[in-house]
Structure 1
């Protein structure tokens, strides 16, 4: 997972209302968080292609957060985008997009799916999961990557004269097997170090609260408002 700051002139992301990108390497997807005015030009300068962006997450309806949304949606259409786009945001975002389309006389050549952010699991993928927590008029996000099994040690399996087949897949999952003679095969023995999942925290609050501190524990990446 890679985070790309779209706020030129800063070495870190200083304001969650500004825009940034998460590149999810294992999904081969790019998620855009918030859209300030003219962010589509910054995205191109950062070397990100419009067609790579599969999801847009809007944290709140602040003008700094949504002022560039119509511009980037129009840029997607002008670039000939065909695959659908998934947008996550607070209640009222759909009405904002409809009004912008109405008064700018703009239509898009691709499908848009809108989802209202609510507390709980919002995005649940086999490799990534996003939790949403509501705090006053904005949202706090936690993004987790799941633990994945490591490389299967084929040479260890051959030492035990285990024939190749579906059993290899079961052992890679860490399952245990008891053979007819009572010998136990421990799947974890045949795996070379599991990939430990990551935790990324996104907060839009300049004040520390108990929940803020608890949710931030063991985070690999922290993005917050100063």
Structure 2
């Protein structure tokens, strides 16, 4: 599991950075990737990346501002031309379906795969045996949502060498042991699951927040997250401007990560006034003073999501 950034700029693209989009690569977990937001030219960014649109399984939109949305019709159309045939589900706030229906209809775009559009107003938006995704309303000029992606705990691994020493070969009894059930061999030997199965693997939590100024909604989405992605449109010397435009500063993002007990923070959605990497250093420094485990998101860079033990 890792995050791969396709756009990290706020508002409009620049020669250095594109507008917002980030992929959650789940190649080992699902053999697919999910995407969060799809600003203009995201499909061009994908052409410069290792991502393949045919592997895109789910796409989550935080809000309906153009720098998070305008790349979506073209990407959906191109996915079909590039051989994407697997179903795709797009999640987002009310109004998303109308926007896509009109865009794809007027342009007579051909979508040769099953496309499902799910509008939501927060809460649980997706769940299966291995993942669940929850959304929460933030505070922006229009309804903007953050997403909390929770990987469910997975069973521990079997000690196959020990099992073979008992004369137990792979079969149905292996499955029972992995479920935590004790079993008895044909020779009458009782094998206790706790002795041959390692501790379950704790699922990871990734929080991706849409545009927001500091608000109550960010905390429940971020509590104990392994990785939080938070906008940092401005440095804190422009905190008044950030509040006026319903955005956050790097320091405010760090304060949220610290309060939430997160493990790592990634800053993104930078104002165009910070036009080069050197100009972003003050944002990183002010965040690290409060939350040392902070990094700047970089386009075409992967950031692994590591497992960790929850703090007591």
Whether these two folds match at TM > 0.5 is: yes
Equivalent residue runs for 1:131-170 within 5 Å: 131-135=134-138, 137-160=143-166, 162=168, 165-170=171-176
The residue aligned with 1:206 is 213
The residue aligned with 1:98 is 101
Residues 49 and 162 of structure 1: CA distance in aligned 2, closer, same or farther (over 3 Å): closer
Equivalent residue runs for 1:9-88 within 5 Å: 18-25=20-27, 26-88=29-91
Higher strand share: 1
Q: Any conservation in 2 of the 1:80–1:109 contact (CA below 8 Å)?
A: no
Aligned to 2:30, what secondary structure does the other structure show? coil
Give the CA deviation at 1:150. 2.5
- Structure 1 unmatched ranges of 5 or more: 11-16
- Residue in structure 2 matching 1:221, options 199, 220, 227: 227
Give the CA deviation at 1:216. 2.3
61-70 or 98-107: bigger deviation? 98-107
CA distance in 2, matches of 1:73, 1:9: 22
Equivalent residue runs for 1:124-135 within 5 Å: 124-135=127-138
- Structure 2 unmatched ranges of 5 or more: 11-18, 233-312
Q: Any conservation in 2 of the 1:86–1:112 contact (CA below 8 Å)?
A: yes
Q: Any conservation in 1 of the 2:138–2:145 contact (CA below 8 Å)?
A: yes
Give the CA deviation at 1:177. 5.7
CA distance in 1, matches of 2:53, 2:169: 47
CA distance in 1, matches of 2:43, 2:225: 29
- Residue in structure 2 matching 1:195, options 191, 195, 201: 201
CA distance in 2, matches of 1:172, 1:47: 35
Query: Normalising by the residue count of structure 1, what TM-score does the alignment of the two structures yield?
Result: 0.84
Residues 69 and 215 of structure 1: CA distance in aligned 2, closer, same or farther (over 3 Å): closer
| Residues 68-117 of structure 1 deviation map (CA, whole Å, 9 limit, x = unaligned) | 11111121132233222211111111111121123323232222111112
The residue aligned with 1:13 is none
